[in-house]
């Protein structure tokens, strides 16, 4: 995910700056559209913020990133980011909006934000909850202090995400489960490639024998995929390598989904096949721009 980020649209950047300069916009409703962050709706300043919050709750739908503009005790108005992401959304959509929060703040300017919070149901998220997220109630901070504080928080949050989301549960199609069983029980060289479709692992293709020289030509070139490859090493033993292929031109929304599921046995595949495959893995091959590099 580090190599590809969502980009804030020019229109959103302009609206944000105008609101920051003139305090005329109460809220911006931001959504992900074709790998860009765009403004789907804007709410001008009209009356008290607590009254407007009720209107915003009724007029926005999940998923969305709400930028709520509110008066601040330290002088200039500040923004509170409310990520409204319902539990019923697909996993990849949730992950996309989770990463979009950091992209949005970093590109618009971390020092403009006084709070950042996530909710699955905006109807039950009151105006008092919005104000409670503002974390700059300890006195004025310089822009450098704000940036350092935000960076420390982001590092902490990312480490928590990494440990909590290192494996995402996905389903397995019947054909995929059968292919894993066959791969785990087979001997000799074999090649099995998998992909995620509708949050399920499915088979791209299986090949009984692939020479190492021709391995890269059998891997998808423009979309993420997983590969299990059995080869004969110089020590006379057969080994299995798990390959995670994610080309640079893959869609942004696909990459975090594959990154957090870089093991086909994270899904509930057949118990008989898993120990054989899992115990014989000796490394991971990462394909970027069609170049293979082995990481141990």
Number of domains in the chain: 2
Predicted pLDDT of residue 199: 74
The reply to whether 145 and 53 lie within a common domain is yes
The reply to whether 158 and 21 lie within a common domain is yes
The reply to whether 36 and 71 lie within a common domain is yes
Judge whether 144 lies within some domain. Answer: yes
Residue 57 CA, chain-centre distance (Å), reads 25
Predicted pLDDT of residue 112: 87
pLDDT in tens, 199-232: 788 899 988 888 888 888 888 887 888 888 888 7
The reply to whether 27 and 145 lie within a common domain is yes
The reply to whether 156 and 244 lie within a common domain is no
Dihedral in degrees, nearest 10, Cα atoms 274, 280, 282, 286: -40
The reply to whether 15 and 140 lie within a common domain is yes
Judge whether 37 lies within some domain. Answer: yes
Look at residue 120 and tell me whether its pLDDT is greater than 50: yes
Judge whether 1 lies within some domain. Answer: no
The reply to whether 144 and 185 lie within a common domain is no
Confidence of residue 293 (pLDDT cuts 50, 70, 90): very low
The reply to whether 136 and 193 lie within a common domain is no
Judge whether 283 lies within some domain. Answer: yes
Instruction: Tell me which of 110, 135, 164 is where a domain ends.
Output: 164
pLDDT in tens, 49-71: 999 999 999 999 999 999 999 87
Look at residue 276 and tell me whether its pLDDT is greater than 60: no
Look at residue 269 and tell me whether its pLDDT is greater than 90: no
* 77-81, 147-151, 194-198, 292-296, range with the lowest pLDDT: 292-296
Judge whether 175 lies within some domain. Answer: yes
**Cα separations (Å) of 18 from 111, 152, 257?**
16, 29, 35
The reply to whether 194 and 155 lie within a common domain is no
Judge whether 2 lies within some domain. Answer: no
Domain that holds residue 268: 171-295
Instruction: Tell me which of 130, 164, 198 is where a domain ends.
Output: 164
Mean pLDDT of the chain: 74
pLDDT in tens, 232-261: 777 778 888 888 887 776 665 555 555 544
Instruction: Tell me which of 115, 131, 164 is where a domain ends.
Output: 164
Q: Whole-model pTM?
A: 0.50
CA distance 79 to 26: 9
Q: What interhelical angle do 143-164 and 91-108 show, nearest 10?
A: 160
Judge whether 130 lies within some domain. Answer: yes
The reply to whether 247 and 160 lie within a common domain is no
CB 94 within 8 A of CB 84: no
pLDDT in tens, 146-189: 566 566 555 555 444 444 444 455 678 888 888 888 888 776 65
Judge whether 46 lies within some domain. Answer: yes
The domain that contains 283 carries what CATH number? 3.40.20.10
Nearest to 272 by CA among 150, 201, 140, 179: 179
The reply to whether 142 and 31 lie within a common domain is yes
The reply to whether 13 and 134 lie within a common domain is yes
């Amino acid at each position: 995910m580090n190599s590809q980020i969502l980009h804030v649209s020019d229109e959103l950047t302009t609206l944000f700056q105008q609101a920051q300069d003139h305090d005329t916009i109460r809220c911006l409703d931001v959504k992900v559209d074709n790998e860009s962050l765009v403004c789907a709706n804007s709410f001008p300043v009209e009356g008290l913020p607590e009254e407007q919050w009720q209107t915003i709750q009724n007029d926005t739908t999940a998923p969305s990133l709400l930028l709520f503009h509110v008066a601040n005790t330290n002088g200039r108005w500040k923004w509170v980011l409310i990520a409204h992401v319902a539990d019923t959304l697909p996993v990849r959509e949730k992950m996309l909006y989770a990463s979009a929060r950091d992209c949005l703040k970093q590109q618009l300017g971390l020092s403009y934000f006084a709070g950042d919070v996530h909710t699955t149901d905006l109807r039950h998220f009151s105006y008092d909850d919005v104000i409670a997220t503002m974390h700059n109630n300890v006195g004025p901070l310089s822009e450098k202090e704000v940036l350092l504080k935000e960076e420390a928080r982001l590092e902490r949050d990312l480490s928590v995400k990494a440990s909590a989301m290192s494996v995402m549960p996905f389903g397995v199609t019947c054909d995929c489960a059968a292919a894993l069983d066959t791969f785990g029980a087979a001997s000799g060289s074999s090649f099995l490639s998998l992909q995620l479709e509708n949050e399920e692992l499915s088979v791209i293709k299986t090949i009984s024998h692939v020479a190492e020289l021709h391995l890269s030509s059998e891997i998808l070139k423009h979309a993420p995929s997983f590969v299990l490859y059995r080869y004969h090493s110089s020590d006379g033993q057969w080994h299995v390598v798990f390959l995670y292929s994610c080309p640079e031109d893959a869609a942004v929304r696909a990459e975090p989904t594959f990154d957090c599921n870089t093991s086909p046995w994270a899904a509930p595949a057949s118990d008989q096949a898993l120990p054989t495959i899992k115990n014989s893995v000796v490394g991971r091959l990462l394909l970027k721009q069609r170049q293979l590099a082995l990481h141990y």
